[in-house]
Amino acid sequence: MNEPIIRRPITELLKTARGATIHITPSYMYDVSVKEADLMTESQKHLNRYFLVAALLVCAASQGCGDGFSRVGGIVSLDGKALEGGTVAFYAVQSGPLSYSDIGADGSYQIRTASREGVMPGQYVATVSWRSRPPSPGMSFREILALEKVPIKYCTRQTSDLDIEVEPGKNNIDLKLVSKK
């Protein structure tokens, strides 16, 4: 069965149907072989657009098309005052990847897992670190901990008491650190 050949000026090249075979000749005209499947009626095009818009709205309402990740953010404070820097890490109590965030100048954080925003719902231990300067090569663990501006107990997952429960959806979790007094 021969496909219909449509001759059009070269200026209409970008307006051809997807999947069409284009044959450009040396003249200002080109041939387009159009298969019956490529010929979609206007009502079908409108129906497809409405379906696409509806699917996008459903995805937006479900917060990311079911990727399963929960959004987690909040404020990190020490003795009631927002931290002005540092990092937060979430360690899964069971198995799972490390999730982390930098702490903004206003004390805010937004947890990420690799390049994705959020974490999977579940139990986590949070750690907070804010060093006075970067560690130097060859420093011992004890020397690195001495650089911390936050109490040492919040710096490792073994000693932190910041137990976090992440629920599905959006979570606002403020991390309130206290100094020993």
Beta partners for residue 170, in sequence order:
71
**CATH number, span 71-177:** 2.60.40.10
CA angle 153, 106, 128 (to 5 degrees): 15
- Show me where the domains of the chain are located: 1-39, 41-67, 71-177
More confident residue, 63 or 138: 138
User: How confident is residue 175, by pLDDT bands cut at 50, 70 and 90?
Assistant: very high
Mean of pLDDT values over 49-55: 62
What is the per-residue pLDDT across 68-125, written as a single tens digit (0 to 9) for each? 899 999 999 999 999 999 999 999 998 889 999 999 999 999 999 988 999 999 999 9
174 close to 75: Cβ distance less than 8 angstroms = yes
Q: Could you please report the per-residue DSSP string of 119-179?
A: B-SEEEEEEEE-BSSPPPTT--HHHHHHTBSS-GGGSSTTT--EEEEEPSSEEE--EEE--
Candidates 127, 126, 88; CA nearest to 107 is: 88
Residue 163 in this model has a pLDDT that exceeds 60: yes
What is the per-residue pLDDT across 3-51, written as a single tens digit (0 to 9) for each? 555 555 544 544 444 555 555 555 444 444 555 445 556 666 666 676 6
85 close to 103: Cβ distance less than 8 angstroms = yes
Collapsed DSSP state (helix, strand, coil) of residue 92: strand
73 close to 103: Cβ distance less than 8 angstroms = no
User: How confident is residue 66, by pLDDT bands cut at 50, 70 and 90?
Assistant: low
Between the two ends of the chain, the Cα-to-Cα distance in Å is 88
